[in-house]
């Protein structure tokens, strides 16, 4: 973590952003007081189709009749348009 002034950030923003992109974190100060943290965002990697299928196989089976019964009990079945 590096501490930089607002002026330094303004004057060297391209180099600082390159540092952030490389994983560095900066604290930005104004008049000697830390006011901001500049850090890379944590992005989640997308799943491959194989990983997604493996996760899907681990899910519990859904009992469609029980699901319909519970939905009808909760929402009511009289306004249902159709199955």
pTM of the model as a whole:
0.52
pLDDT, tens only, 67-78: 999 998 998 877
Distance CA(29)–CA(18), nearest Å, equals 19
Print the SS3 string covering the chain.
CEEEEHHHHHHCHHHHHHHHHCCCCEEEEECCEEEEEECCCCCCCCCCHHHHHHHHHCCCCCCHHHHHHHHHHHHCCCCCCCC
Domain boundaries, the chain: 2-38
pLDDT for the residue 35: 96
CATH of the structural domain 2-38, one choice from 3.30.1330, 3.40.1620, 1.20.1070, 3.10.20: 3.40.1620
């Amino acid at each position: 973590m590096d501490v930089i002034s607002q002026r330094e950030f303004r004057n060297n923003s391209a180099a600082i952003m390159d540092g952030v992109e490389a994983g560095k974190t900066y604290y930005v100060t104004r008049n000697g007081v830390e006011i901001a943290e500049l850090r890379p965002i944590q992005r989640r990697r997308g799943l491959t189709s194989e990983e997604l299928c493996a996760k899907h196989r681990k899910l519990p089976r859904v009992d469609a009749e029980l699901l319909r019964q519970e939905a009808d009990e909760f929402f009511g079945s009289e306004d249902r348009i159709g199955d």
